[in-house]
Amino acid sequence: QVQLVESGGGLVQAGGSLRLSCAASGRNFSNYAMAWFRQAPGKKREFVAAISRSGSNTYYTESVKGRFTISSDNAKSTVFLQMNTLKPEDTADYYCAATRLPATRLEKNYDDWGQGTQVTVSS
């Protein structure tokens, strides 16, 4: 099991940028593939991005491709989500998740979750 704590959320104007961080503690971070999900008010939680254990493979939902970048620093047991050119529709609570399985878009494959960080994009 790994404990996850997100940070970096906030209020930003459309077109702006934010960098989310997810600090992991517990078992060996390099054994986990990591992902970011988000949940907008009144909507289901959805996949945003994932990164493989090695960090060599990344995956994105279509709506964030070219704007968001997921990365990891195994030495610091931290995964990041750089979000550029933010849009009002990116407003949501963003959650970090970890899995011992290969990186995947499937929410059910992730065992460990953070508490979330709120991102609000104003128009």
CA angle 82/91/111 to nearest 5° reads 70
Residue 27 has pLDDT above 90, yes or no: no
Task: Give per-residue pLDDT as tens, 64-123.
Answer: 999 999 999 989 999 999 999 999 999 999 999 999 999 999 999 999 999 999 999 999
Three-class DSSP category at 32: coil
| 53 DSSP 8-state letter | T
Q: What is the pLDDT of residue 30?
A: 87
